[in-house]
């Protein structure tokens, strides 16, 4: 049976996904959006609105900072940079996820054993 993606589950990890993308280099909204699309091969479409609220949340928590780029053509873009706090948060989230995954696997696959 082919699996489908749980949108709710994924949405709960938007912040971590965004932080993960920003780990390598700063990016602006559409870049982040595109890199998520590329990674999922279009199997799951995250709405941009979900990302915007994620940026706002992360900014408030000081995990990322926003700054305007100085593009000469086509209008300036708003870039996001991950902070040290954001890096720590990212590692924590990943650790949390791995732990949750272990527990969930144990709980969900119980009957298989």
Q: Which residues bind another protein (CB under 8 A)?
A: 28-30, 33-34, 45, 47-50, 52-53, 56, 74-78
Q: How far is the CB of 14 from another protein (least distance, A)?
A: 12
- Of 76 and 85, the one with the shorter C-beta distance to another protein is 76
Q: How far is the CB of 110 from another protein (least distance, A)?
A: 37
Q: How far is the CB of 36 from another protein (least distance, A)?
A: 11
CA dihedral 82, 35, 101, 6 (to 10 degrees): 130
CA–CA separation, 86 and 31 (whole Å): 19
- Of 34 and 102, the one with the shorter C-beta distance to another protein is 34
Closest CA to 27 of 82, 95, 109: 82
Judge whether 27 and 21 are in contact, CB under 8 Å: yes
Q: How far is the CB of 68 from another protein (least distance, A)?
A: 9
- Of 12 and 91, the one with the shorter C-beta distance to another protein is 12
- Of 30 and 99, the one with the shorter C-beta distance to another protein is 30
Closest CA to 13 of 80, 58, 43: 58
CA–CA separation, 101 and 55 (whole Å): 25
């Amino acid at each position: 049976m082919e699996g489908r993606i749980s949108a709710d589950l994924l949405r709960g990890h938007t912040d971590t996904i965004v932080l993960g993308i920003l780990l390598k280099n700063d990016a602006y909204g559409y870049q982040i959006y595109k890199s998520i699309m590329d990674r999922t091969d279009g199997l799951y479409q995250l709405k941009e609105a979900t990302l915007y609220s994620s940026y706002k949340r992360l900014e408030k928590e000081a995990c990322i900072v926003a700054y305007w780029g100085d593009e000469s053509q086509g209008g300036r873009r708003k870039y996001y940079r991950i902070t040290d706090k954001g890096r720590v948060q990212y590692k924590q989230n990943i650790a949390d996820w791995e732990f949750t995954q272990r527990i969930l696997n144990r709980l969900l696959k119980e009957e298989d054993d």
